[in-house]
Structure 1
Amino acid sequence: MKIPTLDKYGLSYEKVLEIIQPHKEDIVFISGSIAEGFSNEGSDVDIYIITKEGYEGNANTHAKEFSYGVEYTFLGYECLISAFVINGDMLYNIIYNIEEKIKSNQLVELNNKLIELYHRLYRGISLQNNQEFVHIKNKLDFEGFMMGLSKNRLVYSENRHDDAIGALNSNDLLTAFISSKVSLEKSVDGLLCAHGETNPSDKWLFKRLLSIYRIDCDWVKEFIDLYTGENKLVTLEEKTKEMLRLANLIRMKGYQLIK
């Protein structure tokens, strides 16, 4: 897999490794929007360090602790460099727990940070100790992961669809509109997960969509118009009903993929 360039940030991967200073035994990989080709001028350089020896930042870093690792932000460069440091044994436990949730259809219990971690492991590009990184990636059940997430998103979309119908029947148009918009968004999210686009960040929804489907596809254009408000439907009720119709069509596409 080709490593994307960091030239526009005035960086190279050798320079990034020099900045973050991992141990030689640490596994280091890049992931996030830059690795996936979604980045823009406001994007961070997202680095992961899998370590056995521990890690400490320096005076130019800001640390944020999580239950399973520490995220260091390196300041003073043209873009933010974020290094998420996780203990190797902790990572293996997380992978095992996620695999168990895949088998028991309990992925709904995962928070977005853990979903992001699993996604980024699979999409990550090695910068140091590639063989060890590939060994970890080979442990992932990514197909089960993406199918499980897809089903969760599609079921959630159906639930919001039912909420919208109930609100419409009660003439509660604002609630119906909000529920229908969420139903539409999650129907697309569920379809994308079935294609392997499991990034949980809402901000990349359109880029994820257009990485798979052409913008001139009828339902894609209709989704963008409805979701962004460009559609010229006259009333809130009409727009709500159109979003529910389209969400149902997209869910059908998603369910066909995960059968």
Structure 2
Amino acid sequence: MLTLDNRIPSKFINPIQNALLALSSDCLFVYVSGSFIEGFANETSDIDLFAIHEKEAPIRNALFTNSTGAQAEVECEGDAIVDTEHLTQRRLKEIVDKLRLLDIANDDGAFRNLTNGELQFLHRLVIGVPLAGEEVFNLYRLQIDVRRISCVIASRALLNWHEDYNDALGAIESRQSGTAMLQSRAALADAVDAYLACKGSTNNKPKWRYEKVAAYSPELSISILEKDIDCSIETSEILAKAAERMSFSQHLSQLAYDMLEDLKEQLADA
């Protein structure tokens, strides 16, 4: 009988077991990751398995190949859905090495060298729970410095914040209320992402942004909701709310900038 992490509902045992039995003999290790492991899952969430193979071979039931080069297949039993991504050890090592070799402390553009897909893969490896091949899994997991992932995500988010903030500012000055509302919300989301990354979050997906904030600070999550909600369609009130939203995003982004510099100093001294 397969023993699973207690965060995973029992309905997934059979499809996970079937997915494991279907793996080829060259599979080095398998781990489970995703929203159930992070504690954000809901009733429609599926399970994400990752299988790392010694060599490249076509997966018979693969539905597609994603941006990281992984072949993906699905195992279903009722409403229990298990997605399995198959990746070669060579590609895994390539992604881990890309992160390790980034000159984050001295190169302000280093964060551009990793794709969003590669960042998400690294995140899922960091939080993953091994089901088979635990020793090899841990060898790769220990090579990842999560501070590097945080720096990359925060740097990207702050760059986006600067662009969205300026766009929102221009919309407010031009009294373009709809654009001001949307761009100020985008700026707030960017600032939240940067702040969370500097606090240790390695998940770069916006899907669970609010859940991540609520888990870190319930008070902050309430403040963000208050700033994000518009209660009027009057132009003057929308513009005033956008300005309030931008001020709050500026506060968060400054905190993130300061924490990012501290992280870079830590990496430079490591």
Taking structure 1 as the reference length, the TM-score comes to: 0.86
1:65: which partner in 2? 65
Aligned-pair CA distance for 1:111: 3.0
Structure 2 regions of 5+ residues with no counterpart?
262-270
1:193: which partner in 2? 197
Aligned-pair CA distance for 1:6: 2.9
> Could you say if the C-alpha distance between residues 98 and 10 of structure 1 is closer, same or farther in structure 2, counting changes exceeding 3 Å?
closer
Aligned-pair CA distance for 1:73: 1.3
1:144-198 deviation line (CA, Å, top 9, x unaligned): 2212321221232122111111222222222222111100011001111112212
Paired residue for 1:148, among 145, 152, 168? 152
Aligned-pair CA distance for 1:132: 0.6
1:74: which partner in 2? 75
Task: Letter of the 2:204 partner, please give it.
Answer: P
1:50-71 deviation line (CA, Å, top 9, x unaligned): 111445555xx45211352211
1:247: which partner in 2? 249
> Could you say if the C-alpha distance between residues 193 and 157 of structure 1 is closer, same or farther in structure 2, counting changes exceeding 3 Å?
same
Looking at structure 1, the residues matched to 186 and 38 of structure 2 have their Cα atoms a distance apart, in angstroms, of: 25
Taking structure 2 as the reference length, the TM-score comes to: 0.83
| Identity among equivalent pairs (%) | 18
1:221-242 deviation line (CA, Å, top 9, x unaligned): 1211232x26679611111111
Matches for 1:207-218 after TM superposition, within 5 Å:
207-213=211-217, 215=218, 217=219
1:32: which partner in 2? 34
> Could you say if the C-alpha distance between residues 257 and 128 of structure 1 is closer, same or farther in structure 2, counting changes exceeding 3 Å?
same
Question: In the alignment, is the contact (CA less than 8 A) between 1:98 and 1:107 conserved in 2?
Answer: no
Looking at structure 1, the residues matched to 230 and 183 of structure 2 have their Cα atoms a distance apart, in angstroms, of: 19
1:237: which partner in 2? 239
C-alpha root-mean-square deviation of aligned residues, in Å? 2.5
Looking at structure 2, the residues matched to 196 and 12 of structure 1 have their Cα atoms a distance apart, in angstroms, of: 34
Question: In the alignment, is the contact (CA less than 8 A) between 1:28 and 1:47 conserved in 2?
Answer: yes
Structure 1 regions of 5+ residues with no counterpart?
none
User: Residue 11 of structure 1: SS of its match in structure 2?
Assistant: helix
Question: In the alignment, is the contact (CA less than 8 A) between 2:53 and 2:87 conserved in 1?
Answer: yes
